[in-house]
Amino acid sequence: MKDPKLYGHWPYRGRPKVTWPGGKKMAFWVAPNIEFYELNPPKNPHRSPWPRPNPDIVNYAYRDHGNRVGNWRLIEAMEKYNIPGTVSLSVAMCDHFPDMIEQVNALGWEFFSHGAYNTRYIYGMDKEQERETLQHAIDTVKAATGQQVRGYLAPALTHSVHTIELLAELGFTYSCDLFQDDQPQPLNVPGSPLVSMPYSLEVNDHYAYNVFGQSPQQYTDVLKRQFDTLLEEGGTSGTVMCIPIHAYLVGRSHRMGPFEEILRYAEQHKDDIWIARAGDIAEHYLEHHYDEAKAHIANFGGSDDA
């Protein structure tokens, strides 16, 4: 398999500065993953949805806790600190839990596509099938919320070599699928301009809790350090910080209190940061920085004929 050459090498040092609205140093966004995992999904030939045979009720219930309990706690906390979510949405949630989707839509949260279900993987699809799933997500969210989907994070991070170019073809403005940077940047695909949006695995609650075994307070401390460093550097470079979370993790009774601290911390720094939704960050970047970045990247060569 060849390198898909989605972006050229572009050293962090010496880039044209990115400035956020109001002269803010850092764009800050929170990405609640509002997901649905199926009890009896079909078994993708390339990846089994559950570690146990269907119905894997332990792992299913673990996620379902988010939709019965955790999301409601999280929505209340985000509302309390005036932080709008940019939802990484299993779009089938529009059918399963329409009340929750309506509620966060009314709060001004943005939705981007995280596939139909987090148990339906892209692996094995041909390009036409993948295009169909993307169009289906656009249509579902439009019908349920009136919003035009602008962003994407592949369901369960399952990609094909076509994923990124399909996003540009279908008019998406940002992709959260790539983890190479702390700033947005242009992606090298035909179609409408597409930006790689900093999301994060390193400060993702899934990694914090289930991989690194952090405590709720340790996770908050990690997020504060991430925040402090990116804010400081943002004075020179213009940074983006994302907090990617899952209510079935942060919304547990032992974690919600410490998680609220980072929301409060962000609110306390609102004069320095632009608290935004990912689609707004992408839009600002496309309008003010995309062309300059593209021209600057061209100086570095590297990927196109590698």
Partner 1 sequence: MTLDPEFLKYPMRRKGMDHDLYPAANLFEQPKVTWAGGKKIALWVTVAAEFFPLTPNEGGFRAAGHMATPFPDYRTFTTRDYGNRVAIYRLMDALAKAGVNVTAFTNSALIERTPALIDDIQAAGWEIAALGEDMNAVHYGGLDTALEQQQIETCLSAWADRGVTPKGWMSPGRGQSDVTLSLLKQAGVEWTADWGNDDMPFLMNDGPIAMPYTDEMEDRKCLTALGQDENIWSQQIIGAADLLSKEADTYGGRILHLALTPYVIGQPFRIKFLRDLLKQLMTRDDIWSATGSQICTAWQNNTKA
Nearer to partner 1, 135 or 236 (CB): 135
Q: Give the pair of three-digit tokens for residue 3.
A: 């390198």
Q: Could you tell me which stretch among 13-21, 123-131, 141-149, 193-201 binds partner 1 (CB under 8 A)?
A: 123-131
All residues at 6 or more sequence positions from 232 whose CB lies less than 8 Å from its CB, including other chains: none
Q: State the binding string over 194-213 for partner 1 (x if CB under 8 A, else -).
A: ----------------x--x
- Smallest separation, CB 164 to partner 1 (Å): 18
3-class SS of residue 279: helix
Binding mask 58-77 for partner 1 (x = CB under 8 A): x-xxx-xx-xxx--x-----
- Can residue 132 be called a binding residue for partner 1 (CB under 8 A)? yes
Contacts of residue 38, defined as CB under 8 A and 6 or more positions apart, other chains included, come to 49, 117, 119, 120
For 99, 103, 110, 150, 169, the CA distances from 128, given in Å and listed in that order, are: 32, 34, 27, 20, 12
Bridge partners of residue 27, in order along the sequence: 240, 274
Residue 84 preceded by cis peptide, ω within 30? no
- Of 106-114, 120-128, 167-175, 219-227, the segment contacting partner 1 by CB under 8 A is 120-128
Interface of this chain with partner 1, residues 228 to 257, rule: CB under 8 A: 252-257
Q: Which stretches of the chain bind partner 1, using CB under 8 A?
A: 36, 38-40, 42, 44-45, 51-58, 60-62, 64-65, 67-69, 72, 92, 95-99, 116-117, 120, 123-126, 129, 132-133, 210, 213, 215-218, 252-258
